[in-house]
Amino acid sequence: MFRIRFHGRGGQGMKTASRILGTAFFLEGYEVQDAPRYGAERRGAPIFAYIRADRKPINERGIIAGPDLVVVADDSLVPLPAAGVLQGIREPTVILLKSCESGATWRQRLNIKNPIVTLPETGEAEDSAELRYIGAACAGAAAGVLGIISRESLAQAIQEELGRLGEAVLAKNRANALASFDAIKKSAAVNVTEGGSIPAQPYKRPAWIDLPFEDARISAPVIHAGLTSVEVRTGLWRTMAPVIDYSLCRGCWWVCSTFCPDGVISVRDNQPVIDYDHCKGCLVCVAQCPSHAIAAVPEKEEQARKKAVAGEAS
C-alpha cells in the first residue's frame, strides 16, 4: 500500500492536491482513500491531507503514521513542530519539498538521510495570484516521483477535480501540474517504495496506563488565566503580509482596524499599526483601505526586508 501525506497551509490547496493524486491513482486502477485533516478551518494554519492507494480494498483508516512519501508545499512548515511534517518518517520515506534550496542542504539541516527531492519555486513569490496553483503543482510532482501514474491519468484527474472551475483555471492548473510532473520525471532518481502492514507477531506492545483518579481541582478542564490567546503566535500562519505605506495612509484609522476580523490593527498617534505576531494575513484590510495604502506582500519577502532593516540598525 502507498501511504502519502501532503503538508501545506490552509488556502494552498492541499485538499485539492490530495484529491488530484487520489483520482489519478484511481484512474490507474488502484483502490484509493483520500482525506484532508484540519481543525477549526483557517487560512494559513498548517494543515495536511493524506492518501492511501493499494491494489486491494483498504481497511486501514485515519492519520498516516508511517508515510512512504511526504509532500510539503511550503518549506517554512518544516521547522514548525505543530506541523508535524517529519512525523513517522522511516529510512526509505521520500520527501518532496517545494523549496529554493537543494535536497542536500535540507538533508544536512535536518540531519536525516532520507531522499529529498525539491521542486523549485517558480515565480510565485513575485505574483501572489500564482500562489493558488501550488496544490496542482505538488500533485503533479508527487505523481512524477511515484513513477506509476501516467501523464494522461494526471491530466484526466485534474480535469475531473477542477473542471467545474472553468477552462482558464483548469488550463493553468494543468500546465503547472504537467510542468512539475515533467521536471521531476527528468531530474529525480528516487524510488518510492510501498510500506507493508504491521505484523501481529512480534509487535511493540502499547504502553497503556490506568488513568488515576484525580479530584476536580485537577481534572476539570479549566484555565483561569486570561489572555491565553496572546501566547499563540498566529502570525506564523501568514503566507502574505499586509504592509501599510504610511505616505498614502490618510489616517482615517477606523476602516482597517474595524474590518480586521482578528482585531490586530490598533491606532497609535493617529496611525494604524499592525500586530504582526497575531495577524494571520487574511488581507481583509488590503481590500478595505479606501486609499489603497495597504499592500499584500509575500511573507518571505517581508521577512527578508525586516531582516535587512534589523541588520542595518545593528
Partner 1 sequence: MSRRLLTGNGSAAWGARLARVDYIPAFPITPQTEIIETIAEWIDRGKMTGRMVTMESEHAMITAAGAASATGVRVFSATSSQGLLYAMEMIYSVAGWRTPLVLVNVSRGISAPITLEPDHNDVLAARDSGFLQIHCSTCQEVLDTTLMAYRLAEDERVRLPVIVNQDGFYLSFTREPVEIPDSRPAAEFVGDYNPENMGFRASSPSSQAVAVLGAGAYSYFRYETHLAAREALSVYEEVAREYRERFGRYHPIVETYRTEDAEYAFVMMDSFATKAKDGVDRLRESGVKIGLVRPRLLRPFPEEQLCRALAGMKGAAVIDQNLSMGKGGVLYTEIASALYGQNEAAPLLASFIGGLGGRDISAEEFYEIAATLQKAVKHNRAPRPRLLYTVEELRAMRKLQAIAHVERHGSKPGE
Which residues make up the interface to partner 1 (CB under 8 A)? 19, 22-23, 26, 31-37, 39-40, 58-63, 65, 197-201, 203-211, 218, 221-225, 228
Q: Which is nearer to partner 1, 60 or 126 (CB)?
A: 60
Q: Rounded CA gap, 243 and 12, in Å?
A: 21
Q: Which is nearer to partner 1, 48 or 276 (CB)?
A: 48
Nearest approach, Cβ of residue 57 and partner 1 (Å): 9
Nearest approach, Cβ of residue 146 and partner 1 (Å): 17
* Closest by CA position to 114, among listed 97, 137, 134, 138: 97
Q: Rounded CA gap, 299 and 302, in Å?
A: 5
Q: Which is nearer to partner 1, 19 or 174 (CB)?
A: 19
Q: Which is nearer to partner 1, 62 or 261 (CB)?
A: 62
Nearest approach, Cβ of residue 14 and partner 1 (Å): 13
User: Residue-wise over 280-298: b if at least 16 C-beta within 10 A, else e?
Assistant: bbbbbbbeebeeebbbbbb
Q: Which is nearer to partner 1, 84 or 182 (CB)?
A: 84
Q: Rounded CA gap, 116 and 136, in Å?
A: 20
Cell of 172: 493553468
Nearest approach, Cβ of residue 120 and partner 1 (Å): 30
Nearest approach, Cβ of residue 211 and partner 1 (Å): 6
Provide CB contacts within 8 A for 240, sequence distance 6+.
128, 131, 281, 283, 296, 297, 298, 299
